[in-house]
Amino acid sequence: MAEAINVRAEMTPNPQTVRFVTNILLTDTPKEFRSPQETTPSPLARKLFGFPWTAGVFIGRDFVAVTKQDWVDWETLEEPLSGLIQEHLERGEAVMHEMKSADQAHAAASNDTPDVVRIKQVLDQEIRPAVAQDGGDVVFHKFEDGIVYLFMQGACAGCPSSTMTLKMGIETRLKDAVPSIREVVSM
């Protein structure tokens, strides 16, 4: 007998975003969708953007973070959204059409310098799992002239506390791991 699928809503530090946690793996390749036009790889994201209040969708390994427009409140949306996501999963509908991406920013590349390898290790092993707990993700873009450039995604994008997370958390940890880092910035 298959395990029952559960979906529960959790608030995130971003008041515009709620994290809908599941008890199953949704994807091995987390992805952010900022508009309906970007949802081709995800039938679930496309369905969520069918609502006029949706401002963004981030699909993580075992959660969906939904960002809403300002004009609607979570008291109205939380329960119906949990039900919609659970129904989608119970029907066995696709969450993501897994796509092989040559530009997976966090994957180690053969031409990475030792500093970049270490940055990606710390991001993947320590920072990304912690940020995922708040419904977001941090993706490496580049390391140039002592500056680490990252993309903040999901609940982290636009979160009032994202600057503090970036500077006091991520930057502090990465500087500790790689002394040549002068600064960490979000793109």
Residue-level pLDDT at 166: 75
Place of tokens 């990606």: 120
52, exposed or middle or buried, with CB in 10 Å at 0-12, 13-18, 19+? exposed
Residue 42 near residue 33 (C-beta atoms within 8 A): yes
Give the contacts of 94 (CB within 8 A, at least 6 positions apart): 42, 43, 44
pLDDT digits (tens, 9 = 90+) for 91-114: 999 999 865 544 444 455 678 899
pLDDT surpassing 60 at residue 41: yes
Place of tokens 């409140």: 73
Domains of the chain, first to last: 7-90 (3.30.1370.70), 114-186 (3.30.300.130)
- Cβ neighbours around 65 below 10 Å, total: 29
- The pLDDT of 36-52, averaged and rounded, is 93
